[in-house]
Amino acid sequence: MWDDEDHTDFSFSVSFKGPAEIERERAVELSKKRPSLLRPEDVFDVVDAGLELQIFIPEAIRLIESGCYIDFVDPYKDAYSILDAHAAYFSKNPSQKKRYEKLKLWRKNRGNCISPKTGRARKSYSSEACANDAVRCMADSYGQQVAVQCDFCGEWHLTPASRHTPSKICGYCTDGDGNSKQLYFSREGAMKRAKIIANERGLHLELYRCPHEDGWHLTKG
């Protein structure tokens, strides 16, 4: 005959561990390791457990940026829901917050990137390598193109080399409408863009050095 009371007492006090406790212990062990040695889903398990966030959140963001596949076991969890739970960390770490906000914007815009010139969806490539393959295929029929990562959708588009003026969004300066300004990496690039705009829109723009970052802006003067 089964001795219910005795058995229950014994197993709970000595050996029983619930799944949550086992999961917690596993996350604690993982958090002691170097994140670059872990599988991507393990890095997110450590973040999910709220451990070593100063080390593991930047690594988690880097994993999303790299576009690598992350195999979540729990269907209700993904990289974004796990990071969204750490608002307190992000409010204290503005540079990581900025990185993460950009990834969320890209996720929202992916596949909806419209060319201002044609009004149609731009052809997108998910990685620089894919975009560079396309560059090689098209060189003969379309002339030299350059693969550029898009600030709006995070994917890669091709642009004719003659129009390519390397730039990014300035983290400080805004135009008259409050939109962030484009920061050109070189004076030559900014001048080339000013010429394209003058030819296509008849607008005369002046260039000036950004007072905050290393690069150049265009202004109506």
38 or 207: whose CB is closer to Zn ion?
207
Distance of closest approach, residue 154 Cβ to Zn ion, in angstroms: 7
Region 69-128 residues binding Zn ion, contact defined as CB under 5 A: 113
Note whether 210 binds Zn ion by CB under 5 A.
Answer: yes
Q: How far is CA 69 from the centre of its chain?
A: 14
With contact defined as beta carbons under 8 Å apart, do 123 and 157 qualify? yes
> Of the two residues 53 and 170, which places its CB atom closer to Zn ion in the complex?
170
Q: Which residue has the tokens 């958090």?
A: 31
Pair of tokens at residue 155: 């994917």
Among positions 38, 105, 134, 150, the unique one binding Zn ion when judged by CB under 5 A: 150
Beta strands in the chain (DSSP E): 145-149, 156-160, 167-174, 180-184, 206-209, 216-219
| Near Zn ion by CB under 5 A: residue from 27, 170, 194, 218 | 170
CB of 150 to Zn ion, least distance (A): 3
Phi, psi of 206 (to 5 degrees): -100, 150
CB-neighbour burial class of residue 113 (10 A; exposed 0-12, middle 13-18, buried 19+): middle
* Nearest distance from C-beta of residue 26 to Zn ion, angstroms: 39
Residue 195 CB, shortest distance to Zn ion, in Å, is 21
* Site residues, Zn ion (CB under 5 A): 113, 150, 152-153, 170, 172-173, 210
